[in-house]
Amino acid sequence: MKKVCGPDGGRVISGPGSAFLPYRFRRTPRTWRTPQKATGDNAPVNPHHRHGSALAHEHAGSEAGPGESRRSVGRSFHTPRDGRFGDRPGRPGTLPPVPGRLTFLYATAAVGLVLFALLTWQVTSHGPLIRPDRRLLRAVLAAAARHGGASTPAHDLCKLGNIQVAVPVLVAAVAAAAWLGLRAGLARWWLPPLAGAVVMAVLPLVVTTVKTAVHRPPPGLTRPDPSGYGYFPSGHTATSSVAYGAALLLVLPWLGRAVLRRVLVAGTSLLIAAVGAALVWCDYHWPLDVLGSWCLAAVLLPWVAAANTVSRRSP
C-alpha cells in the first residue's frame, strides 16, 4: 500500500477511499538494472510524493482543489528576462550578442575598400576596364539622345546629390537618432549620430584627395581638365550615397513595422541608384566614376551600422 501522486508531483485521485492503493507488483519479476548514480528528481525510483520538487503541491489531493503550487526556491513562476544578470558580458544570465554581425560589417567595408582601390588603379593606369567604360558611356548617351523627354527628370535627380540637399537630410536623421536614443535610455546613445557625422565629414576629404591624385578627364574626352578638376570618383554620387544611406541606417532601428523598414530600404536604394544613373545619363560622369563612389560608400556606411550594433549591445 502506498500513497499515489501524479508523475509530475501534482494532483492525486480524490475521494475518501483513494488515498492509498496497492501496486500489486509483489510477485512480478523485476528486470536487472545497471546501477546508476542519479541525484534529485532524476533517480530511477517508483513514483512517490517528492517534497523537494519545484512543482510539488502543498495540499495535493484535498477536496478543495489541487492546492497552491510552491517553489523550492521560493521565487515566482517565471523569472523576468530583466532580472537575469551575469557577472561578465557573455556569461550565463546576460543577453547574447548577435553572432557575426560586426564581422559581416567589417568584411563589407574591407571588400568595398579593395574594389575602390582596384577601380582607382584601373583609371590611373588606363587598364582593361577603361574600354568597356567608354562603350557604356556611348551607349547611355545614345539612349539619352533618343529619349529627350527624360532629360529634365534626370537633371532633377542629379541635384539630389548636391551638398545643400543631401546634408540637411543627414543632419535631421542625426538629430532624430540622438533624441530617440537618449529617450530610450541607451548608454551609448551618442555613438550612432557621431558615426554618421564623422563619415560625412571624412567623405569630402577622401573625394577631393582622390580627384586631385587621379585627375581623370571629363566624360568623352581623353585629356584632363586644364583647371585641374578630376572626375573620379563622382562627388555627387558619393554625397548622395553616404548622406541618404547613413540617414537610413540611423532611423531604421527605430521603425517598428517590418513593412515600413523594407519600403524605406528599397526606396533609399532606388534613389541612390537613380542619382548615379542620372549623372551618367546627363554626361556629367563616366560610369566608373559612379561605380567608384558606390564602392567608397560601401567602405563608410558599415561603420554607421556597426555603431548602431555596439550602441544597442551596451547595458
For 92-117, the pLDDT digits (tens) are 443 444 446 789 999 999 999 999 99
pLDDT tens-digit series, residues 185-196: 888 899 999 999
Shared domain for 151 and 14, answered yes or no, is no
Mean pLDDT, to the nearest integer, of 48-54? 48
Tell me, yes or no, whether 92 lies in a domain: no
Query: pTM of the entire structure?
Result: 0.68
Name the residue range of residue 7's domain: 1-34+46-77
Cα 207 to Cα 204, 216, 294, 304: the distances in Å are 5, 13, 12, 19
Give me the number of domains the chain comprises: 2
Query: Is the same domain home to 117 and 70?
Result: no
The Cα 143–Cα 191 span in angstroms is 45
- Shared domain for 232 and 303, answered yes or no, is yes
Residues 51 and 150 in one domain: no
Q: How confident is the model at residue 101, as a pLDDT?
A: 79
Structure letter (DSSP) for residue 291 = H
Residues 139 and 274 in one domain: yes
Give, for 20, the enclosing helix (H) or strand (E): strand 20-21
CB within 8 Å of 154: residues ≥ 6 apart: 144, 278, 281, 282
Q: Is residue 191 assigned to a domain? A: yes
In terms of domains, do 64 and 163 share one? no
C-alpha cell at 128: 582593361
The verdict on whether omega for the bond into residue 153 sits within 30 degrees of 0, i.e. cis, is: no
Same domain? For 70 and 175 the reply is no
Cβ–Cβ < 8 Å for 132, 301: no
| Residue 40, in any domain of the structure | no
Regarding whether 306 and 157 lie in a shared domain, the answer is yes
Q: Confirm whether 83 is domain-assigned.
A: no
95-99: list long-range contacts, CB under 8 Å, 24+ apart: 97/313, 98/309, 98/313
Question: Residue 2 pLDDT > 90, yes or no?
Answer: no
Higher pLDDT, 185 or 51: 185
Residues 123 and 28 in one domain: no
311-315 long-range CB contacts below 8 Å, 24 or more apart?
311/181, 311/186, 311/187, 311/188, 311/189, 311/191, 311/192, 312/186, 312/253, 313/97, 313/98, 314/186, 314/187, 314/188, 315/187
Confidence label for 91 from pLDDT (cuts 50, 70 and 90): very low
Q: How many CA atoms lie within 13 A of 272 on its CB side?
A: 24
36 pLDDT exceeds 50? no
Residue 40: per-residue pLDDT = 46
d(CA 218, CA 229): 9
Q: What distance in Å separates the CA atoms of residue 249 and residue 269, rounded to the nearest whole number? A: 12
Beta-carbon contacts of 66 under 8 Å, excluding residues fewer than 6 positions away, are 10, 11, 57, 60
Q: What is the mean pLDDT of residues 264-290?
A: 96
pLDDT in tens, 206-262: 999 999 999 999 998 888 888 878 999 999 999 999 999 999 999 999 988 889 999
User: Is the model's pLDDT at 6 over the cut of 60?
Assistant: no
Query: Is 95 inside a domain boundary?
Result: no
pLDDT surpassing 70 at residue 38: no
211 and 300 assigned to the same domain: yes
How far from 96 is each of 86, 90, 184, CA to CA, in Å? 11, 6, 20
Evaluate whether residue 84 is within a structural domain: no
The answer to whether residue 255 is domain-embedded is yes
**What pLDDT is attached to residue 226?**
81
Same domain, 197 and 53: no
| Mean pLDDT confidence for 144-156 | 92
Indicate if 23 and 155 belong to the same structural domain: no
pLDDT at 315 over 50: yes
Residue 94 belongs to a domain: no
